[in-house]
Chains A and B, each alone.
Chain A
């Protein structure tokens, strides 16, 4: 198959950034005299540390600036503090963090309810716009979820009934 663009030199800007001097390029291009001096640069002023900031054990300190969004709290915070006892090299760091994220979602719903707010999950998930542009897809998706959920409920309840009947038969003997 012939390329669509037979003559790329006609395209605006073709080849204007081709620079043989820029090879090998970033991220390995520039080395500096301080490369082997370790963590010895003149650090920026430290942001006052007046909230809990978890830091990787692969570094000695909290960075000079840091975000203050959502410090660790609650059960998810306990899990996150556990995770930060381990390095980024360990699954004991990352898997608890994923667990904490899921626990945090439940905490978020509970927090909403405590503050008298029932989360509008339909709106939060952007379903109104999906209803507008892909109604069929949304109906199929919701029907599939409902069918799977219904199937699980039926399966669990039938097992439960089976278990109760077995217990009754066992008791009758």
Chain B
């Protein structure tokens, strides 16, 4: 696929990727997904998103070729490829912060390297393609365990670890009330994972009834439509005996609806780095001394958030791009033991050449779309 401008995507032929570094691998893609954060690119909201780039940071594939210093993979391996490009040598990688590698994105010091996510994350072509160049192949790419369904594996590259990390960063204690803003795939997974950390009550907030119904069934949580509950912050206060939630999770990011001022300034006119409605609600809904966990993606400039309330309430904010590699051993175990069912999130499977339809379907929430998987004709499985 190729980006042609805001809301314009097309399937096209591009040259085969090549080994450019001794730690590179070339992977033939078997499955790739469209992520909610791809919509920020699709809508033209992320600076330095160049016409001609291939998106896609959630993919699995078969190793076709390896560089001279690749020792942990061999040709023919079925791999899942975490969305982070991480060197494993810098101080951040050594800390386990694989989403913050300092040797993968020249164009920005704040962002790490990601596949197919504009030039502020390194300018790499992504996995919504038939073949991808995968740098630092010794570090993050992981051989898919025998017997694991490829559709479970592809969701372990981002959605599952991001939902899991959202819950982990919340520092959930046994019996806590956790509120998740956003019932997209990551929000649904965050709600599911909140139980693993011992939550006593999990509430998810969105405006799409079909997504709320999906979350109610998949995540076994309470689900409410913010268009029907009045002020969502007051609603959460009432639900928590006027104290506020122990943990609030922003699983929406820049595309949030629900506040006209935020929508106009953040999504329509780009005066902010996206609409900050979800994080605004999270800060105001959490209890004093509570934790706000942010995994929703925003642009690199500024956002309107009630920082005074962060101070007044003594809130801890934890946020990060997901360190996928750090979570994989535990999450693979959870999938193999039946604790988590990633592929249950998938609602649509499309051929890669129908990628423009896939983006529109996901973006406009058509046909009750939750998660779309793209299948290249060269997938072979």
Contact = CB atoms under 8 A, between A and B. Distances in A.
Interface stretch (A128-136, A146-154, A156-164): A128-136
Nearest to A22: B168
Given A66-B122, A91-B301, A97-B48, A34 B94 contact: yes
B23 A45 contact: yes
A129 B100 CA distance: 37
B107 A54 contact: yes
Contact of A105 (B21, B51, B200): B51
B52 A70 contact: yes
Interface in B331-350: 334, 338-340
A1 interface: yes
B105 interface: yes
A66 B334 contact: no
B356 interface: yes
Contact of A5 (B95, B108, B135, B221): B221
Give the dominant DSSP class at B's interface: loop
A98 interface: yes
Contact of B87 (A44, A101, A126): A44
Nearest to A28: B318
B16 interface: no
A97 to B, nearest CB: 4
B49 interface: yes
B8 A69 contact: no
Contacts of A22: 168
Nearest to B88: A44
B47 interface: yes
B109 A25 contact: no
A59 interface: yes
Contacts of A58: 109
Interface in A1-39: 1, 3-5, 8, 11-18, 22-32, 34-35, 37, 39
Nearest to A62: B106
B195 A8 contact: yes
Nearest to A120: B10
A13 to B, nearest CB: 4
Interface stretch (B252-260, B279-287, B359-367): B359-367
Contact of A98 (B47, B51, B171): B47
A82 interface: no
Contacts of B94: 32, 34, 41
Interface string A80-118: 100010001001001001101110110111000000000
A28 B7 CA distance: 37
A65 B359 contact: no
Contacts of A137: 364
A5 B357 CA distance: 37
B89 A41 contact: yes
18 contacts: A5-B220, A18-B173, A23-B171, A24-B171, A25-B169, A43-B89, A45-B69, A53-B106, A65-B20, A66-B106, A67-B113, A69-B50, A70-B53, A94-B300, A100-B48, A126-B360, A126-B361, A129-B366
Interface of A: 1, 3-5, 8, 11-18, 22-32, 34-35, 37, 39, 41-45, 47-48, 53-56, 58-59, 61-70, 76, 80, 84, 88, 91, 94, 97-98, 100-102, 104-105, 107-109, 119-121, 123-130, 133-134, 137
For the complex of A and B, list the 3 residue pairs with the smallest distance between their C-beta atoms, beginning with the closest: A126-B360, A67-B123, A67-B124
